[in-house]
């Protein structure tokens, strides 16, 4: 194999969709006001104790104008259209128009933890109620994890590699890391990377609840009267994740191609670290999380003391948050008390395979605005007294390097260091 080109890799554009807003601008406006986007689920019936989620507001694929009625009927896994929309909007944000030179050199890597589970549910219902011949012939394409990237390629015309990194809740960071490596080595010049998740169906909501991963909103819980308070990472009364849908796509580009195309960078992918736990299918493992964080810092060729902010995985689970803080203490030592920590899931919930991609975008935006983003709903935990969790509202905090953590079921970890421009 040819030697890698060792090119620098930059983020040049992006867009997101979250329960705070269907685009970057609307999400950001509510995020910096300290709002959370949770409510009781409107689309289905679940246990009354497990019905607080993060639904996409104002999401209507028909309004995109890309598809006719037949397309909308056949492609009934929402992550397909959401991926296509975010890819198009991210390229617009970058100011990049793909052409005959860039199309063959553009890759697309979009992860999803649960793929087209909404389409699978429709197929099950049709089979049970209408018979086997009413199962859609589009079912298998809808649940193939690479199809959203493939459909984006059909819409936009790029013909570089497409793949869906399957790394559970770390999928978004794996997509960013793999795309960055491909560009660095010379396999492509542009990569659309990230994650998209549309998982709010009753079986998934109830499955997470029955494994005690999501919060049980009992009458005595503060989220019972105010669902916006359901996700509270690192808080003394944290009780579980809030399941949410959403997506994030970033446009990565090789440094030597940006000037040729007149594109300006927003951030640089400086370091990537990834490990697996070999420990437990859901519980995090400090030893290998520490290695992932340390590898990202080593790959960035910086010292832990250079990190200016940490975008935590911060799921709002008792065990997960504790293990993450213990891992950060091991890497950063006494210096940790001086590094602001933000947990975006307190406002947008846990979007599973999309989480890390959305959080990368929010972390870059915060860095560009000289802000440390908040962890809303936070009531300090005495066990984390040495940790600077940013509460309530953003804090002015100029910095040019941040660490973004992502850990997933199955024991998969991926951490990335981003550098500001």
- Residues assigned a catalytic role: 169, 313, 350
Q: Which positions ≥6 away from 351 have C-beta within 8 Å?
A: 18, 54, 195, 197, 244, 245, 246, 247, 358
Q: Which positions ≥6 away from 326 have C-beta within 8 Å?
A: 286
Whether the Cβ atoms of residue 218 and residue 105 lie closer than 8 Å to each other: no
Task: DSSP letter for 10, please.
Answer: E
CA torsion 172→175→180→181, rounded to 10°?
A: 140
Whether the Cβ atoms of residue 300 and residue 417 lie closer than 8 Å to each other: yes
Token duo for residue 174: 């794996």
Q: How far is CA 375 from CA 39, 93, 348, in A?
A: 18, 27, 11
Whether the Cβ atoms of residue 276 and residue 412 lie closer than 8 Å to each other: yes
Q: How far is CA 342 from CA 115, 278, 314, in A?
A: 28, 28, 8
DSSP for 125-187, please give it.
HHHHHH-GGGS-TTHHHHH-TTHHHHHHHHHH---S-EE----GGGHHHHHHHHHHHHHHHTS
Task: Tell which residue, 368, 379, 361, 276, has the closest CA to residue 311.
Answer: 361
Distance CA 308, CA 256 (A): 27
What per-residue string of b and e applies to 221-243 under the rule 16 or more CB within 10 Å gives b? Answer: bebeeebbbbbbbbbeebbbbbb
């Amino acid at each position: 194999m040819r030697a890698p080109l060792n090119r620098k890799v930059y983020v040049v554009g992006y867009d997101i969709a979250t329960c705070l807003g269907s685009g970057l601008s609307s999400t950001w406006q509510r995020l910096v006001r300290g709002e959370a986007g949770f409510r009781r689920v409107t689309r289905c019936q679940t246990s009354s104790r497990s019905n607080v989620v993060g639904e996409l507001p104002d999401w209507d694929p028909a309004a995109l104008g890309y598809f006719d009625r037949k397309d909308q009927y056949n492609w009934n896994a929402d992550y397909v259209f959401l991926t296509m929309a975010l890819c198009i909007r991210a390229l617009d944000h970058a100011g990049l128009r793909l052409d005959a030179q860039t199309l063959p050199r553009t890759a697309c890597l979009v992860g999803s933890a649960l793929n087209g589970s909404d389409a699978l549910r429709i197929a099950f219902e049709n089979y049970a109620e209408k018979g086997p011949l009413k199962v859609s012939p589009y079912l298998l394409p809808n649940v193939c994890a690479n199809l959203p990237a493939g459909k984006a390629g059909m819409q936009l015309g790029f013909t570089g590699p497409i793949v869906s990194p399957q790394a559970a809740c770390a999928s978004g960071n794996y997509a960013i890391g793999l795309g960055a490596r491909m560009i660095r080595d010379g396999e492509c010049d542009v990569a659309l990377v990230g994650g998209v998740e549309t998982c709010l169906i009753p079986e998934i909501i109830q499955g997470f609840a029955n494994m005690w991963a999501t919060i049980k909103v009992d009458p005595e819980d503060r989220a019972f009267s105010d669902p916006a308070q359901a996700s509270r990472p690192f808080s003394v009364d944290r009780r579980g994740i809030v399941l949410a849908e959403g997506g994030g796509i970033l446009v990565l580009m090789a440094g030597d191609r940006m000037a040729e195309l007149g594109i300006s960078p927003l951030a640089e992918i400086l370091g990537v670290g990834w490990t697996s736990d070999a420990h437990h299918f859901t519980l995090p493992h400090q030893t290998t999380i520490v290695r992932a964080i340390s590898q990202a810092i080593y790959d960035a060729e910086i010292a832990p003391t250079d990190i200016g902010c940490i975008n935590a995985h911060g799921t709002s689970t008792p065990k997960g948050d504790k293990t993450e803080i213990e891992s950060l203490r091991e890497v950063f030592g006494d210096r940790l008390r001086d590094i602001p920590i933000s947990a975006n899931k307190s406002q947008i919930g846990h979007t599973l395979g999309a989480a890390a991609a959305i959080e990368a975008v929010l972390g870059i935006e915060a860095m560009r605005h000289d802000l440390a983003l908040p962890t809303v709903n936070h009531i300090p935990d005495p066990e984390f007294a040495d940790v600077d969790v940013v509460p309530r509202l953003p804090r002015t905090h100029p910095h040019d390097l941040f660490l973004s953590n992502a850990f997933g079921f199955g024991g998969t970890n991926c951490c990335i260091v981003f550098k500001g421009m």
